Amino acid sequence: MKVRTFTSAALLALACCVCFGGYVARTRANAPGGTLYALRDAQENIAYARVIRLEHSGSRNGVLLSTFERWNNDESPGSFLIQQSRDDGQTWSALGTASDGERGPGHPWPIMWQPFLFELPQALGRYPAGTLLLAGNVGSRGAKDTHFQLWRSADHGAHWDYVSTFQTGGSVNPGRGIWEPFLGLDRQGRLVCYFSDERQFATHSQILAHLVSDDGGDTWGPEVADVASDRQADRPGMATVARLSDGSYLMSYEVCGPPGCEVHVKRSPDGDRWGESPFDLGARPETPDGRYLIGSPYLVRTPGPNREGRLMLAAHSASLTKGGGAPESGQIVLLNSRSGRGAWSWMPAPSRPLYSPSGNANTVYSPCLLPSRDGKSIRLTVPSGGAPLGRESTQAGPTDLLPYRDDFAAGTDAGWIDYGGEWSLSGAAYGSAGAAKAVAGSTGWADYKLDADIKLLSPGQAGLLFRVTDPGAGPDDVHGYAARLSSVGGALTLGEEDRDWKPFASVTLPEGVRIGVWYHITVRASGDSLDASVQRAGERAAEVKVKARDASSPFGAIGLSSWDAQASWRNVKVTK
């Protein structure tokens, strides 16, 4: 699907800043991410980034390569820029370019859309493992033509040779185009290109299909339909594919049309046969607390807590099954450790995209996920604001693998989402004011231990949340449990949060709760057994403990919350 217009409600607002109590506070948590590439002038437009890690390139293994959509308003000739990072995404430098390889009247064409980088994991045809392929959608002036072109690099991305134009399509309007090539290997080890196709517009506004190459991309077989709808207006598109632990495959894609562009998934035993019929539109991944994704999905499989690994799924935005947009829309990643079967959970994305006022960076259009080799972190790359004209932002953050730790020493709140209040970082502490809540970790966590230091900076209550699901902006707008520390009465209270506060048990500290003093709180959840304890941080004083039993929230993420106080947290840790 080649659509670049989204409602302003789906785009995230720019962060605002106010000052209080020595903090410079933002009204949203979640770091905006570093910069992979910043727009150079008002003519330039970007979107749709792709990042890979070299794994079959000898001494170059571990280097990150990136590219992204790029075109100019004045329709001057364009090119894909290939960038590299030798420090795991901290800094980026130019490496190479790939331009329109066709010749003849009107060439070189100006539009460079939907690139995809792929490193051969094994020899294919005449080409050894480590050979790089770049597929892209090159458009003519006025987008009257769309051509899939393929380039090949034998020197790890520094130089690119045009191979061929292996599919040709028509214009954006009326729909006759081809879109979004995605390269991978099928179970037989053959090169596959999945893509979106509008060329059967009379019967299908758009379908998902694939081509197979037996020789590493020199030649291609016939088109095979993978996903279609019996309603002409439906538009399945933007496929990404992950290979599962048993050798089967899962495809993610959007299905645009009434009621929107919902993200679906579909299974294949071999990467070539997708269900008994293309007219099977697959299933919509959902979480138990009612989140599902909308538009331009990206799916990866990472090392995980079991043999099946973990599937991670990002998209442009998120909605609620009960209606309306999710409060964390554009900031979450869905998780599944059962090869895509059953319910999914969610976690905060490593960064939040910023709306680009210029419109030159198409915010959150087709996010890219790149897991670390050990599965402990995930890198999100998206078009975003945060530069005068826009940029491609990139940020790595923790996944849901335990143990989890955040001491905030890096000066970032990557992996946290807030739901109200004002949040800031000062030194190695995370601070809030007013009725504030910030959530991290996975809504799929069940039994765990949560530790953190907390300091009240004004009279009132603040504490820890655990087994959190379905959070919202109100003080008690969450389902889960809380351990609240209160300066009024000097007590630690354990209770349930479910759109209202239901205390289970409370214990008073012998010396009360003092303003400006660090306390260490520990909470444990195991089945229906819940307990919390508190003591002065860094001291060997006896813990004050409180216990309860409740089974209404069997799983959920962690959180920090202040109900009516200014507070700080540090040394957050989650273990099994």
∠ CA 53-56-58, rounded to 5°: 105
Write out the DSSP string of 295-309.
Answer: SS-EEEEE--SSTT-
* Residue from 329, 387, 316 nearest 356 by CA: 387
pLDDT tens sequence across 18-41: 222 332 233 345 778 889 999 999
Please, which pLDDT band fits residue 14 given cuts at 50, 70 and 90? very low
| Mean pLDDT of all residues in 96-119 | 97
Specify the pLDDT at position 411.
84
pLDDT exceeds cutoff 70 at 166? yes
263 token code pair: 């993200």
pLDDT exceeds cutoff 90 at 434? no
pLDDT exceeds cutoff 60 at 294? yes
| Mean pLDDT of all residues in 363-379 | 95
Whole-structure pTM value: 0.93
Specify the pLDDT at position 29.
56
Specify the pLDDT at position 355.
85
pLDDT tens sequence across 545-569: 999 999 999 999 999 999 999 999 9
**Tokens 């409060």 map to which residue?**
327
If you ran DSSP here, which 8-state letter would residue 214 be given? S
- Mean per-residue pLDDT of the chain: 92
pLDDT exceeds cutoff 80 at 378? yes
In the β-sheet with 260-268, what is the strand arrangement from edge to edge? 235-243, 249-257, 260-268, 291-294, 317-320
17 token code pair: 């800043």
In the β-sheet with 345-348, what is the strand arrangement from edge to edge? 298-302, 310-314, 332-336, 345-348
User: How many Å separate Cα 303 from the centre of its chain?
Assistant: 16
Domains assigned to the chain: 32-40+287-399 (no CATH), 44-173 (2.120.10.10), 417-575 (2.60.120.560)
* Number of CB atoms found within 10 A of residue 79's CB: 18
| Mean pLDDT of all residues in 525-535 | 97
pLDDT exceeds cutoff 70 at 332? yes
